[in-house]
Amino acid sequence: MTLTIVALLPAYQNTNGDSENAAVLRRRAEWAGLEARVVAVDTREQLPARVDAVVLGSGSDSSLEQSRGRLLTMHDELRTWGTEGVPILAVGTGWELLSWGIERPDGSSVEGLGILPGRAVPAPARITGDLVVASPRFGTLVGFENHAREYVGAEGSPLGRVRSGVGNSRGSGQEGVVMGSVIGTHLHGPVLAKNPAFADHLLGVAAERASLAYEPGPRAAMVDEYATAAREAQLGAVRAAAPLARG
């Protein structure tokens, strides 16, 4: 069986390269000896008959309404995938579009699809920089954040606790939201390239649903050394900057 990984709306939701998380999943599956493919889906008609994992990246605010309109045509499929346990990773505005909604500074709003709890609200200023998260499920996650909104209403189901950076903000100290196998996060990177254990968890879930066994292959172990070096460099920079920030 071939694992089918859907990259949703890559033409609109790939501002920070987050759609490439789908390519990370495909490559790691292949290194484990599994057959896998990535299907780019910008319209409902392009959806494959079987979906084993879904990646939805982040886009610009100028494309919010267009992206929402396209996602609405797939609303039933998204709900079904979430209910059935298909791993769905949504990053940035992709995550916000799956929430209850997005509030704008002018008082207008974009209604979300209601797949994930919570909503996005305007932040006092744009939030950018390194983001380090302690996740009970995935360990330490690293990446960078770049968002103009904070996220509220997800206090009971975060991805993890913020160790450096802002995350969901509003004083929550939390980052992301998890609902079953659906995960929303501010972590760019792409996040799965920098955090192999996170990628392996999603692949493990996808493989198990397909009655397949997933174990990271030797090539993955070699590549993970590069990811470890990149993670340590980022964590070192964060630790070095902390005293300056306190001063």
Average pLDDT estimate for 139-156: 92
195 and 168 Cβ atoms separated by less than 8 Å: no
CA nearest neighbour of 164 among 144, 188, 147, 178:
144
Domain boundaries, the chain: 2-246
pLDDT value, residue 170 = 81
pLDDT value, residue 246 = 41
45 DSSP assignment:
G
pLDDT value, residue 13 = 96
pLDDT value, residue 247 = 31
Q: List, for residues 62-97, the tens digit of each pLDDT value.
A: 999 999 999 999 999 999 999 999 999 999 999 999
CA nearest neighbour of 131 among 147, 152, 120, 148:
147
CATH level 3 topology of 2-246: Rossmann fold (3.40.50)
CA atoms within 13 A on the CB side of 161: 3
Please say if the pLDDT value at position 159 is more than 80. Answer: yes
Model confidence, pTM: 0.94
Q: Which residues contact 36 (CB under 8 A, 6 or more apart)?
A: 2, 3, 4, 5, 25, 26, 29, 30
Cα 237 from Cα 232, distance rounded (Å): 8
Average pLDDT estimate for 48-61: 96
106 DSSP assignment:
T
121 DSSP assignment:
E
82 and 179 Cβ atoms separated by less than 8 Å: yes
114 and 160 Cβ atoms separated by less than 8 Å: no
Average pLDDT estimate for 205-228: 92
pLDDT value, residue 171 = 84
Q: List, for residues 171-207, the tens digit of each pLDDT value.
A: 889 999 999 999 999 999 899 999 999 999 999 999 9
* Rg from Cα positions in the chain: 17
Share of the chain above pLDDT 90, in %: 81
Integer CA distances (angstroms), 225 to 6, 144, 229, 230, 233, in order: 27, 20, 6, 9, 12
- Give the pLDDT band of residue 242 (cuts 50, 70, 90): low
- Give the pLDDT band of residue 243 (cuts 50, 70, 90): low
pLDDT value, residue 167 = 96
pLDDT value, residue 155 = 77
pLDDT value, residue 122 = 97
Cα 27 from Cα 31, distance rounded (Å): 6
Q: List, for residues 9-32, the tens digit of each pLDDT value.
A: 999 999 889 999 999 999 999 999
pLDDT value, residue 244 = 41
The count of residues in the chain is 247
Please say if the pLDDT value at position 147 is more than 80. Answer: yes
Please say if the pLDDT value at position 56 is more than 90. Answer: yes
Cα 46 from Cα 48, distance rounded (Å): 6
pLDDT value, residue 230 = 82
